[in-house]
């Protein structure tokens, strides 16, 4: 993708960063709150119901992101972003009456459906505004999402303490409305571009092109590792004798490492100092190394165990921070501008599959052989995925 970016893109893109923060904050704050409240019995949730409530957000995204991505190509990303944020606010308002699991399920499903609209459209908007600086802009976008992952559980816990689920859903509704107004006012309208007619064969060729498939597999590996690390690193920390606060802090360290690394990596990529293949491969290998360190934690013993779990979090978070913005920038550069929404929606689908597959893989192995073996298998899979990283971005023939 090569096109001049509109004037003042550096300021116009900031509301899109806020949209990215909103989806991450909404997903993780509610998920953490559901887990906390289910353990106290306040909602009367058994583990099966809890699992369903946690999965609804991602299930909606898996089915709807490609659809809304294509819609943003047809009508432009801005209306899809604003409409999605308003839908997120409406779904959050439903959560104000969240005393029953059914109401929580409806609110969670609605939030996931709305996020399916504004998440890929925001990515497409970032790509349209970035011009040739895709690494820089996606680095910042990913950093804002990382902050949502890092602080979502903490801020969500604060709202939960103040006023329970109604307070948390109220905060999310207000945040979504504020960001929707900000996008409507500050983001320029990006008109839909002329689109050639594609056949099914064209679509299949585009989706299997290495410039699309490679970065999407990288994103799936990075996101799957994030999901697995968020769940299993605190469990390892607790088994190593760390307290609740120290165990939860492992996730914050991981997310902060990712957020701090991404803008720097994006700038280096745009300056030509990090090649796409080197960055994506190196990022996944760092994640694999972190997972391997975590897998060997039981052998550390004593105070070395606590140190090792934080080293693992830094390696995984840093690797995610390197691989993610480069993979997104590569996708943007390899996609014709008129097809950015569909490409980002399809790539986000790959991320959601990884988000579900990573924890499932580790959990399945861990249930029979222990968490260490589960994380070891994850390390091998992520290292293997690094071979999928493409050499350079190139526009596929249509």
Instruction: Report the alpha-carbon distance of residue 378 to residue 372 in Å, rounded.
Output: 10
Residue 289 falls inside a structural domain = yes
Task: Give mean pLDDT, residues 115-137.
Answer: 89
In a shared domain, residues 211 and 132: no
- Which one of 9-13, 93-97, 118-122, 160-164 scores highest in mean pLDDT? 118-122
Lowest mean pLDDT among 6-20, 46-60, 233-247: 46-60
Q: Is 30 among the domain residues? A: yes
pLDDT level of residue 379 (50, 70, 90 thresholds): very high
**What confidence category does residue 70 fall into, taking pLDDT thresholds of 50, 70 and 90?**
confident
Q: How far apart are CA 334 and CA 212, in angstroms?
A: 8
Query: For residue 1, what pLDDT is reported?
Result: 47
Contact 364, 380 (CB under 8 A): no
pLDDT band at 80 (very low <50, low <70, confident <90, very high): very high
Residues 284 and 376 in one domain: yes
Distance CA 330, CA 335 (A): 9
pLDDT, one tens digit per residue, over 300-330 is 666 677 788 899 999 999 999 999 999 999 9
Q: Confirm whether 348 is domain-assigned.
A: yes
How many angstroms separate the CA atoms of 174 and 164, rounded? Answer: 16
Of the three residues 166, 192, 218, the one that is the final residue of a domain is 192
Q: What is the model's pLDDT at position 3?
A: 47
pLDDT over 50 (residue 7):
no
Domain membership of residue 42 (yes or no) is yes
Q: Which of residues 139, 161, 192 is at a domain's end?
A: 192
What percent of the chain stands above pLDDT 90? 35
pLDDT at 396 over 60: no
Per-residue CA distances from 239 to 32, 189, 233, 393 (Å): 20, 52, 10, 44
Q: What's the whole-number mean pLDDT along residues 2-28?
A: 77
Q: Based on the domain organization, do 364 and 276 belong to the same domain? A: yes
> Which CATH number fits the domain that encloses residue 332?
1.20.1250.20
| 15 close to 177: Cβ distance less than 8 angstroms | no
209 and 96: one domain? no
pLDDT of 358: 85
Q: Is residue 393 in a domain?
A: yes
Same domain for 230 and 104: no
Domain of 100, in residue numbers: 1-192
Q: Confirm whether 197 is domain-assigned.
A: no
Whether 188 and 212 map to the same domain: the answer is no
Between 99-103, 105-109, 111-115, 233-237, the lowest mean confidence (pLDDT) is in 99-103
The Cα–Cα gap between 107 and 92 comes to: 6
The band of 366, judged by pLDDT with boundaries at 50, 70 and 90, is confident
Q: Is residue 301 part of a domain?
A: yes
Q: What is the mean pLDDT of the chain?
A: 83
pLDDT of residue 336: 82
Q: Are residues 234 and 262 in the same domain?
A: yes
Distance, CA of 239 to CA of 218 (rounded, Å): 30
Residue 47 clears pLDDT 80, i.e. is over it: no
Spatial contact of 316 and 291, defined as CB atoms under 8 Å apart: yes
Say whether both 211 and 129 belong to one domain. no
Residue 27 contacts by C-beta under 8 Å, 6 or more apart in sequence? 57, 111, 115, 148, 152
Please state the domain count of the chain. Answer: 2
The reply to whether 214 and 348 lie within a common domain is yes
Whether 348 and 208 share a structural domain: yes
Say if residue 167 is in the same domain as residue 221: no
- How far the first Cα of the chain sits from its last, in Å, is 14
As a whole number of angstroms, the distance between CA 11 and CA 379 comes to 39
28 located within any domain: yes
If asked whether residues 233 and 295 sit together in one domain, one would say: yes
Answer with the residue of higher pLDDT: 238 or 89.
89
Q: Which of 147, 168, 192 is the last residue of a domain?
A: 192
What integer pLDDT is reported at residue 155 of this predicted model? 80
Q: Read off the pLDDT of residues 171-220 as tens digits, 9 standing for 90 and up.
A: 999 999 999 999 999 999 888 876 666 656 666 677 677 788 899 999 99
Query: What is the distance between the alpha carbons of residues 10 and 13, in angstroms, rounded to a whole number?
Result: 6
Report pLDDT for 282. 96
């Amino acid at each position: 993708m090569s096109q001049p970016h509109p004037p003042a893109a550096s300021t116009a893109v900031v509301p899109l960063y806020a949209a990215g923060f909103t989806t991450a904050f909404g997903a993780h704050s509610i998920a953490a709150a559901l887990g906390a409240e289910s353990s106290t019995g306040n909602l009367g949730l058994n583990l099966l119901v809890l699992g369903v409530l946690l999965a609804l957000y991602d299930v909606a995204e898996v089915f709807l992101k490609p659809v809304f991505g294509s819609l943003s190509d047809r009508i432009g990303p801005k209306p899809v972003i604003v409409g999605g944020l308003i839908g997120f606010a409406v779904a959050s308002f439903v959560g104000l009456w969240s005393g029953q699991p059914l109401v929580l399920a409806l609110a969670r499903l609605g939030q996931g459906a709305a996020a399916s609209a504004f998440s890929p459209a925001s990515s497409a908007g970032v790509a349209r505004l970035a011009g040739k600086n895709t690494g820089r802009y996606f680095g910042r976008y990913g950093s804002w999402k990382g902050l949502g992952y890092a602080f979502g559980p903490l801020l969500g816990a604060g709202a939960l303490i103040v006023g329970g689920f109604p307070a948390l859903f109220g905060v999310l509704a207000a945040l979504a409305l504020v960001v929707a107004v900000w996008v409507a006012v500050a983001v320029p309208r990006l008109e839909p571009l002329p689109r050639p007619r594609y056949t099914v064969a064209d679509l299949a060729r585009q989706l299997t092109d290495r410039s699309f498939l490679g970065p999407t597999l990288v994103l799936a590996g990075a996101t799957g590792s994030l999901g697995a690390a968020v769940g299993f690193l605190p469990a390892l920390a607790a088994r190593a004798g760390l307290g609740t606060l120290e165990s939860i802090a492992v996730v914050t360290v991981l997310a902060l490492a990712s957020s701090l690394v991404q803008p720097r990596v994006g700038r280096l990529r745009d300056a030509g100092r990090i090649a796409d293949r080197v960055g994506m491969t190196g990022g996944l290998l760092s994640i694999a190394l972190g997972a391997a360190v975590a897998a060997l934690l039981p052998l550390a013993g004593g105070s070395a165990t606590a140190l090792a779990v934080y080293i693992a979090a830094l390696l995984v978070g840093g690797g995610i921070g390197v691989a993610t913005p480069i993979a997104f920038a590569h996708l943007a550069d390899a996609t014709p501008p008129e097809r950015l929404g569909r490409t980002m929606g399809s790539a986000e689908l790959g991320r959601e599959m990884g988000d579900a597959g990573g924890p499932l893989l580790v959990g399945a192995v861990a249930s029979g052989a222990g968490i260490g073996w589960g994380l070891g298998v994850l390390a091998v899979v992520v290292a293997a995925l690094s071979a999928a990283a493409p050499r350079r971005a190139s526009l596929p023939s249509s």
